[in-house]
A and B are shown apart, each in its own frame.
Chain A
């Protein structure tokens, strides 16, 4: 735990350092003459905002070392939150200029403004569009695939335009070394893009998987079994996820995140269980035997293997959120684990509970207590009804509530996870003892 906190703090420090690096460089060596205070402040915010814009690529480039201390969902969530902060900082850059010198408003007229200003304005508009499309994607009814393509285009445009704006303005890049620094800084972002868009897709192409079987499951879901076409299957920790590309090339950026649902002890093939929720997931059942699929992973820290010394495990699943939990249960079963386990599984009806039959058989292999929570239970149902609330948790959580005694894993729809997290906090469970996985970020 302490190691994770230190790693987490280290990356936050690195983030701040890279954000402020341009300001430090500007202050080192011969400097151009100082200008009005507000103008320098505006420039300082602009430079820092630019760095943060470039760092957004790093946050989504799936570097495992960066994601390890936090978990992938938190890194993506931070990517979203920090984008708003970045936008405000970049927006402050022109707003401060306009406030103190109203004549500078003429820079907004793209027909007459100098090229440096034109690049700056269009870059800012690109960032605004990026954020707007992400916040209102669902309201605007933009398909995830289409959104991802536009997100990538606008992000690259915003950074490239801002870079050109800085180079053309050039007031603060008054020495060779400062110009060199900016050149290297630009190449750093281009390098990350090359890794994400070119090198990684080539590696994925070389290590494609083949569809072995597509099995229909309860709850409008299907399980896809994949075997590696050449090398061994990737190894993963139960609970982790991977990005899947089917029908398209890995260069096309049409990938989708799904949890592994099979046992991590099965080294020969991979299994993903996917519920029909959108365009891509609706097509999954049409995958044919032998079809090529590309798997980029594993990712995520939502796993029992990160907490191997826990005395008990509690799993709370809502609907298709059972998939990473099923991977953990199957793995524990294959390992012959004898620790006490509790599964609280919420569904609308029992019939829609994915893996129902297999879960019911698991207590013969595992020390597992199963609690079904049904929103619409059948007549005569004596089990839990409604939602997973504080009362349900109080009734079924292990009686021993010492910190670090048991670890809780929560996966399900967003509102359910928020409600469960609030209930756990109310029950005095330390934040470090429960873990959640979210994918529905945009």
Chain B
């Protein structure tokens, strides 16, 4: 169970990073 939670945390971090990379690219565009 704890291992499943660790896997989901890893996947969530990946998703958050992709979202913030998108924000970074948008902000670069508005520059």
Do A and B come from the same complex? yes
Binding site for B on A (CB under 8 A): 12, 15-16, 19-20, 23, 26-27, 31, 33-35, 37-38, 40-41, 44-45, 48-49, 52, 70-71, 74, 77-78, 81-82, 84-85, 88-89, 421, 425, 431, 436
A-facing mask of B1-31, CB < 8 A → 1, else 0? 1110011011101101110111011111111
Residues of B whose CB lies within 8 Å of any CB of A are 1-3, 6-7, 9-11, 13-14, 16-18, 20-22, 24-31
Q: If A20-B20, A31-B31 touch, does A431 touch B2 (CB 8 Å cutoff)?
A: yes
Contacts of B16 in A (CB 8 A): 16
Q: B7 CB to closest chain A CB, in angstroms?
A: 5
A48 & B6 in contact (Cβ 8 Å cutoff): no
Instruction: Give 10 nearest A-B pairs by CB, closest first.
Output: A44-B21, A85-B14, A40-B25, A81-B10, A41-B25, A44-B24, A40-B28, A82-B10, A34-B28, A78-B6
Instruction: Determine if A78 and B10 form an interchain contact, defined as CB atoms under 8 angstroms apart.
Output: yes
Query: DSSP class of A's interface residues: helix, strand, loop or mixed?
Result: helix
Give which listed residue, B2, B13, B20, B31, contacts A74 with CB less than 8 A: B2
A74:B3 contact, CB within 8 angstroms:
yes
| Interface contacts beyond A48-B21, A84-B10: sample of 5 additional A-B pairs, CB < 8 Å, sorted by A | A16-B16, A41-B21, A48-B20, A77-B7, A81-B6
Q: How far is the CA of A84 from the CA of B11 in the complex (A)?
A: 9
Write out the residue numbers on chain B whose beta carbons fall within 8 Å of the beta carbon of A52.
17
Bound CA–CA A158/B16 (angstroms) = 23
Q: How far is the CA of A37 from the CA of B22 in the complex (A)?
A: 9
